[in-house]
Structure formats: C-alpha cells, structure tokens
Amino acid sequence: MKYWVWILSLYSSVGFAAEQSFSGIIDVRASYTDGITSYVDGGLGKFRYNPDGQLSLAQAGVSYDIDWDNPLSAHVVANAYWDGVEDNIGITEAYFKYKGLPWNNGLRLSGKLGVMYPEISMENIATAWSSPYTLTYSGINSWLGEEVRHIGAQLSLDYLGKFHDSRHDFTLSAEFFQNNDTTGAMLAWHGWTNSSRQTLWQEKLPLSELPSLDGGSLSSQAKESDPFLELDDRIGYHVKTQWRMQGLGRLEVGYYDNDADTRVVKQGQYAWLTQFVHMGTKWRLPYNMEVIAQYMKGDTLMQSPYGMNIVDNGFYSAFILLSHRWQKHRLSARFEDFSVTDDDLTFDDDNSEEGQAMTLSYSYQFSKGWFMQAEYNRIDSERAARVEQGYAKDLVEQQWQLASRYYF
C-alpha cells in the first residue's frame, strides 16, 4: 500500500492541486461456529471461521482517496486480517477514476482503470468494501470477494434525468479486463459460502483434499489456486445497464465473460471459462425499510490441454435482504437459495450442491462511527463431495457472531 500511496502523492505534487483523505474500518469479533473445517483453511465448511469459538480481527481496512482539481481521482484499499485461519495484509483495490462534467443534454462519461471489482454488489457499499447490513456477506458477494476481481478498464455513459426535469437516470457501462483466468475454480471445488473475507491481491487459495485433486484425475492441478492470474493474454468483458429513480432505488442487469482459453495450463494453474448473468434491485420502502435482491446464474468450464471437458458446472444463487433502520438501531434479515450443477463426466469429482442460507443481524450505534453488531447465520446444504472427507452429504452449519465495528 505504501508504494501506491507514494506514487499518487508524488503525482499530486508535480503540478496538480489535490485533496487527500483516509477512511477505514476496524472490525473485532467474537464468534462461535458449529460446522466443519472452513473453506479458507482448505476444508468444505461454508463459513469463514473454523469450528468452535474464537476472537478475531475480522477486518482492518484502510481506504486512501486522492481527488485532483480536475476530473481525475484515485482510490486504494488495503485490508488486514487476524482470524486464526489465514492472517495477512495487502491490497484489495487500487484504481484511477475519471468523472467528466455533464454535457448540456444530460450525458456524462466516466471511467476506471486499475485493480477493481466488477460493479455488481449492492450489499458491500461501505468503507473497504464492507457491508453496513450484515457481518457476513451473501453467497454472491462472498464469491465476488474471493475470486472475482481483475485489472481492467471501465467506461460508463450516464443519462441524467434532472437535465430534463425527470427523476429517472440511466447508465450503460462496459468493462474490459485481464488477470482473472482461474475464476470459477473455488466455486467449483468448495461451492458457495457465506464469508466476510476478501482475498488480498497477492494471496493464493488452498484447495480441499478431494480425491480428484489428491492423486486422482485432477492431480496435475496446483494445490493452491491463484485467483488473479493471467494465463492466455485474452481480454474478458463485463457489460451492465442500470435504471435509477432518484431517492427511491434502482434496477440493473449485467453479463460477465472472462473469455478464458480453457486449453491453457501453466504450472498447475488452469484457465476457466466463466460466464454469468446477474440482476439486482435495491429500493427504499416506507418506515425506513430497504430491500435488496440479487440473482446470478452462469457456468464455468475447465478443460484439458486437448480440449476435453474436465469440470463443467452450472451455478446459481439468489438472495433477498430486508433491512429496517430506526434511531440508532438496524435490523437486517437475508434469505438465500443456491446450487451448483455438475455437468461433466469426471467420475471422481462431483461438484454438485444445493442449499439455503439465512442471516439475522442486529446493530446498535453507540457513537459516530462505532457500532456493536450481533448476528446469526444458518446454512443447510447438500454436497456429495463431503462424504469423501467423512462428513454428511446433507449438513446444517450455524454461526454466532458479536462484533465491535469502528468506521473512521
């Protein structure tokens, strides 16, 4: 992070006035998990934490922003974790942003360039990509945080309704990117999760000890997946359209395709062709209520260098979240449904799963920036691969958390 900040500060000092700012989050938690070994630790557990209780630094995130006296700005985020599973510190986002002035017809161009998330999440809108609603992200946003990030360039065109006395705004955006060729590997081999951990840019992710990966048909796969690797020099894309009604909410639809060449493998890292459509809506309701709903459906393919299908999975996840805020209180409830469909013929690698998840979360604001939050998570899932590790195919996992979160 110091390297990025030094470059941006130097740039601001050689001819451009700039406003610099820091913000952050410190999230300390006591948790108890009733489940199996966490996916973060190479298991098939659906939660971030291993079984039993622990005290952890769930997130220490710092965001550095610099805004020049022109349409350019920059954004760098670093996160640190001390959770007894994978303690680490590093960059999670770093990009330049351009936001032009609107033209007389209400159109405006904007763009981004750097390390970034695709603009999909409607939950993770707070500092350092945290969520103000729940401690644990939905399955969709947990997967985005784990392995759906890249180096890319985004261009957006906004139509601003206020120039025409309208409350309706529209946005069309296109994003082109690299460094995401292994996206889909973790979703295939451990399935959907409910997490609160973002993979750091330099991290690699451990794979579970499945028969296919441990001496079986996929033994040439590296024991860790590098989620932000470029293997085939091809460019993926993400397109999205959004309609907003000022003061009320929005609706958006997008399509993501990493355009990976599935016959490329280097040092045990395979390129996965991952494509999905996503839809989402977020609305303010009467009595200080909010509703968020997101849906994702797609597929991911891994092949041998000779073009034979090895892993061919369809996947789906959807959730609805209701949140009510009053005075210093917020109560949120989220309900999810998810599945992975195994469509290949690899006999020792069954990635199929289905399940439902529920989250109940309550937070209280003690003072500016300081929140106490309690949360209960429950996942009821069916995954055949767990049997190979001595666990039940159908398993209920539960988690209780109490957090002190400070935003600065």
List the CATH code of the domain at 2-407.
2.40.160.10
User: What string of H, E and C letters represents the secondary structure of the chain?
Assistant: CHHHHHHHHHHHCCCCCEEEEEEEEEEEEEEEEECCCEHHHCCCECECCCCEEEEEEEEEEEEEEEEECCCEEEEEEEEEEECCCCCEEEEEEEEEEEECCCCCCCEEEEEEEEEECCCCCCCCCEHHHECCCCCCCCHHHHHHHHHCCEEEEEEEEEECHHHHCCCEEEEEEEEEEECCCCCCHHHHHHCCCECCCCCCCCCCEECCCCCCCCCCCCCCCCCEECCCCCCCCCCEEEEEEEEEECCCEEEEEEEEECCCCCCCEECCEECEEEEEEEEEEEEEECCCEEEEEEEEEEEEEEECCCCCEEEEEEEEEEEEEEEEEECCEEEEEEEEEEEEEECCCCCCCCCCEEEEEEEEEEEEEEECCEEEEEEEEEEEEEEHHHHHHCCCCEEEEEEEEEEEEEEC
Q: Give which of 187, 217, 213 is closest to 301, Cα–Cα.
A: 187
Cβ within 8 Å of residue 80, ≥6 positions away? 57, 59, 60, 61, 88, 89, 90
Domain locations along the chain: 2-407
Predicted local distance difference test score (pLDDT) of residue 323: 98
Distance between CA 289 and CA 401 in Å, rounded? 24
Predicted local distance difference test score (pLDDT) of residue 8: 53
pLDDT, one tens digit per residue, over 356-371 is 999 999 999 999 999 9
Residues of the chain where predicted confidence (pLDDT) is lower than 70:
1-16
Distance between CA 309 and CA 124 in Å, rounded? 35
Predicted local distance difference test score (pLDDT) of residue 215: 79
Predicted local distance difference test score (pLDDT) of residue 211: 87
Predicted local distance difference test score (pLDDT) of residue 216: 82
